[in-house]
Every structure is written in structure tokens, then in C-alpha cells.
Chains A and B, each alone.
Chain A
Amino acid sequence: MRLPERSVLVLTSLAGGDRHGYALIKDIESFSGVALSPGTLYGALAKLEADGYVQRLPADDRRYPYRLTSKGRAVLAERLAESARIANLGLERIALGGT
């Protein structure tokens, strides 16, 4: 199944290192401009964890850091490669001046 956009954002953020909820929101906002709400973030994390793409680490106070698994890394790489291919194709067509 194709990953939703918000899941791609979460996985991309975790590809840079382990993060808990607040750090994820700030990181995603910094590189994409998207401000995820707490409910949206944890809805995505719950799904990603159930699919085995992320792993919850032991709690630090009330905050649980999350880590990208090898399966999640592979899925993210595949999804980003597909996005890059589409983006390149679109840019080429724009450069050719197609209508």
C-alpha cells in the first residue's frame, strides 16, 4: 500500500535520528513547512509502528523516542525514489515547455 504523505514526513524525520513527538513536529515543520497536530502525528506513528516501520524506544519521562527500523528505511527509500522519478519527469516536461 502506498504510504500517506504524513507518514513519509515522519519517516523522513526519523531517518535523521531517534526523536520523540515534540522533536518530530519541530523537525518536520523545519524541513517541509507542515505543522502536524498531535493527533495526526500519533495516528501516523501508531500505523507505522503496527506495520513495523518504526520502533518505540524506552520512555524518557513521559516522552517515548521513536526509531526507524530497517524495514521502514527500505520502504522510505523506495517511496522517495518513486517521488524523485516523478519529480524529475515533471521537471523535464516543464523544461521542454509542454502545455
Chain B
Amino acid sequence: MSRRLTRAILRLYPRRVRQRHGPEIMALIDDLIAHDGRSRAGLLIHLAVDGLGQRIASTATVWTMVAVLAATSVGGLAVSDFADASAHQDVSHTVRTLAPARHTRQTPHHQPRWRRSLRRARMIARGSASSRSNRHGDPVRCECRAASEPLATAAAVGQPQPRRGTRILLPRSMQLSVGAAAKSA
């Protein structure tokens, strides 16, 4: 009877402990009763309390891991969304900063936004379009006519599918992130 009770109490322990050390615990209880005269009832009560504690601790550990994983996933998604939104905003600002393209017939509107922005930047750099002001009326300087490096860089980036995150080295007011623009398109 007492052995069955001991086995039943051992079921309170995590499986790892129960399977590995169950027979040893029972042998130890027998030793403590035989050599030290300890009461079986007291030992079993202690055994039950310890088993419950270990079970709660192991369950809490699992739930803590689940919570951390969930929080990390949600946080990652939130950061990703935020970064996406920020990149979109950056491109919109850049496109607005460039001179409006409505007077330019060559701008094909079926193209992705990043390609239109790149085309516009090239036209400004060649001098076939101007960038007098942005929509807030602030003057926008364009130094591409004189500088060869921005032109060369823009040409290098003008591949069919520029790599994500590639940046065109134009003056600060005209910088745009091709990767972000492609994504927003």
C-alpha cells in the first residue's frame, strides 16, 4: 500500500526526474525509515510538496519560454513593420523632394516607383529636368551636372533589379533608397 502511495506521489514529479530517479527515491525513503527511524507519513508529505514544487517550476519554465518566444516574435514583427513604414516614408519624402514629374511626358507610370524615381534622378543629373523646389517651397540644390561621381553611381545602380538597400550617392536632398522604393512599389 505504502509503495503504491509512494509511486502515486512520484507521479507529481517531472517525468525526467521520475523515470531516472524514481526507484532511487523509493530506496532512499526505505533507508531513511530503516536507519533513522523517520516516519513514512512525514517523508511522503515532504515528497509530495517537493514534487509539486518541481512540477510547477518545470511548467513555469516551459511557459516562460513560450512567453519569451511569443514576445520576441511580436516584437520582431512590430520592428519590421515600423522599419517598413519608415522606409516608405523616406522614399515618399525623396520623391516629393524631386521636382514634380507631371511635365515630363517620358515618365511611364506603369513602371515601379523606384524606377521612376531613378529615371527622374538621372534626368535631373543630365539637366533635362530641374529640381527647383520641393512641395514645401524649399529650394533643392542639385549638383549632379557638375559632379561625375553621382552620375556614375546612378548609372551603376540603374540595373534591372538593383540590390535591396542600395543607395544612390546624390546630394542629400535627393538620396533615395532603391531597395525601399522597390519594396513600396
| Partner-B contacts on A (CB < 8 A) | 20-22, 25, 37-43, 45-46, 49-50, 61-64
Within 8 A of A (CB), among B1-20: 13, 16-17, 20
Number of inter-chain CB pairs below 8 Å? 60
Q: A22-B31, A22-B35 are in contact. Are A39 and B46 (CB under 8 A)?
A: yes
B124 contacts chain A at the CB level, 8 A cutoff: no
The residues of B that contact A42 with a CB separation of less than 8 Å are 17, 21, 24-25, 28
Q: Assess the A46–B28 pair: CB atoms within 8 A.
A: no
Task: For the complex formed, measure the closest distance between the CB of B33 and the CB atoms of chain A, giving whole angstroms.
Answer: 11
With the chains together, A46 CA to B16 CA distance in Å?
8
The residues of B that contact A39 with a CB separation of less than 8 Å are 13, 25, 46-47, 49-51, 54
The residues of B that contact A40 with a CB separation of less than 8 Å are 50
Within 8 A of A (CB), among B21-65: 21, 23-29, 31-32, 35, 43, 46-47, 49-51, 54
Using CB atoms, name the residue of chain B closest to A63. Answer: B27
Q: A22-B32, A39-B13, A46-B17 are in contact. Are A62 and B27 (CB under 8 A)?
A: yes
